[in-house]
Amino acid sequence: MPLGPDPERARTALAELDTLRDTVTVAEDDVLACLVVTGEPGPQRVLDDWLDQVADTLRALGETAADLSPVLARYTVTGPPAPTPVERPIDAPRMP
């Protein structure tokens, strides 16, 4: 019984996350390049706010993909992931 995801599927998912991160970075640049000056304060504010929200959403998607990648990378090797070391306090010498 496997203790974690299949390493091949983990590698595939990791590659997809890398592709997603690259894609949203390019899309964010494209969205920010769409900033235009309308000449009208009201519509300009609406347009700027909308484009900022789209760029923020794309940035958040990229950050989430980046956050998930190291977690998933632990499963790309054959076998279960190495356990995370647990820190234990050092016992002070006892006085007799």
Q: 1-42: per-residue pLDDT in tens?
A: 556 678 899 899 999 999 999 999 999 999 989 888 888 999
pLDDT tens-digit series, residues 41-58: 999 999 999 999 999 999
In this prediction, residue 88 carries a pLDDT of: 58
Cα angle for residues 49, 54, 59 (degrees, 5° grid): 120
Find all residues with CB under 8 Å of 68, minimum gap 6, and list them: 17
If you count DSSP H runs as helices and E runs as strands, how many of each does the chain have, helices first? 2, 0
Whether this model's pTM surpasses 0.75: no
7-33 and 41-73 helices, crossing angle to 10°: 160
Task: Label residue 58 exposed, middle or buried (CB < 10 Å: 0-12, 13-18, 19+).
Answer: buried
